Amino acid sequence: MSYFGLFSPFRRGSGDLVVSDLGAFKTRLITSIIFVIATVALTLTSKLTTVLMVSALSGMCAFELFRMLRSDAKLPNELMGTAVAVLYPITYAIWYFNGLLSLTVGFATALLIWYVFYMPARITDVAITLFGACYTGLMLTSLVMIREVLDGFWGGVLVAGVLLSVWLNDVFAYLIGSKLGKHPLAPRISPKKSWEGFAAGMIMSIAVWCLFPLIPGLELPIIWAVVGGLACGWIGVLGDLVESRIKRSTGVKDSGNLLPGHGGFLDRCDSLIAVAAMASLFFRALGL
């Protein structure tokens, strides 16, 4: 996400446009509240609702990504790519890593067949279709993996904590960056981001992660919680910059318009995609 945080009514995609209109303020605030409540509620309810939520998010993000790439004279197979992105979380929930491997191999094979028999397709179109499904569906499937670190309700609490760390990182990076930001972080990609905002976001990410050892059943020493907060804090910023780079290269302002006042689903999930993957790898590295 951009430093114009999920809760910030002044954010629209990565356009970094500050507005004063009260109507826009209410629209963005209401959208934020609904998105957060729905996401957290589905995460806490059960593994099934988590899988379905992640599957839906993966499909929407993949669809928006392929649409942006088409505007840049690319020719992805968005039907196949979006379908596989949707299937990644479901496949993992049923067959775990063997399912992910089988789906990826089958997907790659199907793309090669498409490339051979559909003459307008280029090998770059095969590559970006494979990338798009993995970037969205496969990486977001990490949220389902994180939920399995703990059984039942507390697994949902852990996922909700990861979501909260992303959102608060974004919010405080914007608040501090807009007030105190003097040193640009990546001026050629996202001019409004600053090192001051980055530091504020990192502090909030670490603060949220330091609460994780309080979750019943999670054997996470505080020092490793700090490391996890650091790792996920910076990778979230990288995820945001990745999407910003894609939008700049395709000449697109927002990935979509399905979230009133906030652009598209990929605009909302860019940081989360990277953080989910990093958090999953982190928990797995610790044997959790």
Whether 233 has a pLDDT exceeding 50, the answer reads yes
Task: Tell me the longest C-alpha to C-alpha distance in the chain.
Answer: 57
Lowest mean pLDDT among 6-15, 66-75, 128-137, 268-277: 6-15
DSSP string, 171-196: HHHHHHHHHH--SEEETTTEEEEEHH
Confidence of residue 24 (pLDDT cuts 50, 70, 90): low
Q: Please, which pLDDT band fits residue 193 given cuts at 50, 70 and 90?
A: confident
Question: What is the three-class DSSP state of 24?
Answer: helix
Q: Is the pTM of this model over 0.85?
A: yes
Q: What is the DSSP letter of 141?
A: T
Q: Which residues contact 2 (CB under 8 A, 6 or more apart)?
A: 11, 13, 14, 16, 170, 174, 190, 192, 193, 240, 244, 267
Say what percent of the chain tops pLDDT 90: 68
pLDDT by residue (tens digit) across 65-87?
999 998 888 899 999 999 999 99
Q: Kindly report the CA angle at 109 between 255 and 75, in degrees rounded to 5?
A: 35
CA gap 89, 138 in Å, rounded? 7
Model pLDDT, residue 11? 42
Give the confidence band of 152 by pLDDT, cuts at 50, 70, 90. Answer: very high
Which of 21-35, 69-83, 211-225 is predicted with the least confidence, judged by mean pLDDT? Answer: 21-35
pLDDT for 19: 43
Cα separation, 133 vs 188, whole angstroms? 27
